[in-house]
Amino acid sequence: MKKIKKILNMDITQEIHINEESQLAALIALVPMLVFSFFFSTGLVSAAETTDLSQSITGALDVKIVDGSGNEVASPNVAFPSKNFAATSQTSAAVLGTASEKMRVTNPRGNVATWSLNLAATSGATASWSNGTSNYDFNDATALAADGGDGDSIGGQLSVDPSAGTLAGVGTTSGANVSLGAFSAFNEGTVDSIDILSAAAGAQKPGVWDLTGVNISQSIPGMQATGAYTINMTLTAI
C-alpha cells in the first residue's frame, strides 16, 4: 500500500507540473495579442490624411490722404493763405502733404515694383479756379498771370515742386529707388499732369510710402474779384 501511494503522489505531482508549463506557454502566446490590443485601443495604430489651408490677400496699387495715425482723411484740403485784392498779379504758395494730411502710396503687388504718382485737375485741362461767379486759370503759362493762347480767356498758373518734399517708408518699407519729381508747372495741352513721385525697378515690393512737403504755388491775375476760390485736383497712382 505504501508503494501505491508513492506512485500516486508522483503522478499527481507530475500532472500539476505539466499544467503550470501549459499555462505559462498560453500566457506567453497571449502577450502579442495584448500588446496589439493596447496599441489599437490607445490610437497608436492609426491612418493619416493631409489637407490644404488657404488664405487670400487682396489689394491694388492705391493712393490715399491719411492723417498722423494712418486713417484716411474724409475731406482733404490744401488751404492757400488769404490774399488781398490787387491791381497787379500776385503769387500765393502752399504745401501739399502735411503731418495731418500725408499722401500715402500703397503697392501691395509682390511682382511689380514700378509705379508713379501724379497730380492733375479732376475736371481736366479746361478746369479753373472758381468762386461760383468768377474764375482764374491753373494752366496758362503766360507771364504775370495774363491770359494766353489756350482755350479760355483767363490767366493764372499752378506750379508744383515735389523735389522739396519728404519721402518716408511706412513700417519696414525702404525708400530706396523711389524718387521725388522735378519742378513743373501746368500748361494746357502740354503739361496736363505732373509726376510727383515714382518708383524704379529696384523699389521694394510690396511697400507703403508717405509723401509730405510738396511746395505748390499759384499765380493770380491782377484785378481778380474777391471771393473764396477752389479747384479740385486728383492724385493718381499708376
User: What percent of the chain has a predicted confidence (pLDDT) above 90?
Assistant: 79
Give the pLDDT mean for 210-225. 98
- Answer positive or negative: Cα dihedral of 15, 21, 25, 27: positive
What per-residue confidence (pLDDT) applies to 108? 98
Rounded Cα distance between 208 and 178, Å, is 11
Asked whether the predicted pLDDT for residue 137 surpasses 90, the reply is yes
Residue type present at position 211: L
Backbone angles phi, psi at 88, to 5 degrees: -115, 165
Regarding predicted confidence, which is higher, 8 or 27?
A: 27
Asked whether the predicted pLDDT for residue 10 surpasses 60, the reply is no
Q: Say whether 18 sits in a helix, a strand or coil.
A: helix
* Residue of 118, 133, 121 lying closest to 214 (CA atoms): 118
Q: What is the DSSP letter of 222?
A: T
What per-residue confidence (pLDDT) applies to 23? 60
Give 187-202 pLDDT, tens digit per residue. Answer: 999 999 999 999 999 9
Give the pLDDT mean for 21-30. 59
Asked whether the predicted pLDDT for residue 13 surpasses 90, the reply is no
Min mean pLDDT across 9-13, 36-40, 112-116, 153-157 is at: 9-13
Backbone angles phi, psi at 99, to 5 degrees: -60, -30
Asked whether the predicted pLDDT for residue 26 surpasses 60, the reply is no
Regarding predicted confidence, which is higher, 27 or 147?
A: 147
Confidence of residue 51 (pLDDT cuts 50, 70, 90): very high
Rounded Cα distance between 129 and 150, Å, is 15
Contact 122, 201 (CB under 8 A): no
Asked whether the predicted pLDDT for residue 176 surpasses 70, the reply is yes
Sheet holding 157-161, edge to edge: 90-96, 214-220, 157-161, 184-185
| Cell 507540473 sits on residue | 17
Cis omega (within 30 of 0) on the bond before 32? no
What average pLDDT does the structure give for the chain?
88
